[in-house]
Amino acid sequence: MSKKDSQSNPLSTSLPPPSPTPPTKGTSQSTNMTDKEREIHLGFMREALAMAEYALAHSETPVGCIFVHNPSPSPSSPNPKPYIIGRGYNHTNLTFNGTRHAEFVAINQILTSCPPSSSQPYGSEVLKECDLYVTVEPCIMCASLLRQFGIRRVFFGASNEKFGGTGGVLNIQDSNGKYDSFPEERKKDGEEEGKGGMREGDYEVSGGWLREEAIVMLRRFYVQENERAPEEKRGKEGRVLRLDVEPLALENGSGKGG
């Protein structure tokens, strides 16, 4: 495939090989999956990685995502299959707008497009039946947006230790991060850590999916010169792309992505 072809079609880009072992850190869903379920999640994560690859080819921070709709069963469709309804990648360099993260771009696409066989755009309620697959843990801003829309589940690749909103810094998916700042409130609420029930707006998180590939892609971006960055931060001479990634420390049932 030519470079031109790969840049014109975000779904035709070549991808690195998948991680040999999917993560077990995260929610109970990530620790009790069948091989078939894991392959389904890996397949969707590869689609998100394709969007990140497309972003990299266009000098954007390589973070990509997809939203997968899991329709409720109906008499006419008792066993509906999940399908992708939105795709996004970072547009922060392109637009000079720090809020144009992949999740925002994809949600905007969903809310301005129409379902199959319909002339009416999707309503925001559809996001309550959606799972997000994103190459990097959602930041605090995006994690809050997902909570407001009532996202069902989030699967991510690399953790975001500086700005992560689903375990990296705060746990917006759990009580809107209430217990991050006030851990003593958990006991007052009569809960044990990690054993509280789901509240309105809470959503499940599983991290580490194709983590190594997501990290290497970020490194590929940061070793090159970003023409849109401030001049004093552009110099990248002598930087070498590191391909080794430290293994993920697994913590089953932690409730945090990793």
Provide DSSP, 57-76.
HTTS---EEEEEE-PPPBTT
Provide DSSP, 130-158.
EEEEEEE--BHHHHHHHHHHT--EEEEEE
Strand arrangement, sheet containing 130-136: 83-89, 64-69, 130-136, 153-158, 204-207
204 is catalytic: no
What span, in angstroms and rounded, lies between the C-alpha atoms of 4 and 40? 30
Q: Catalytic residue among 47, 53, 60, 103, which?
A: 103
Q: Which residues, in sequence order, are bridge partners of residue 136? A: 158
Which residues does 123 contact at the CB level (< 8 Å), separation at least 6? 111
Catalytic residues: 103
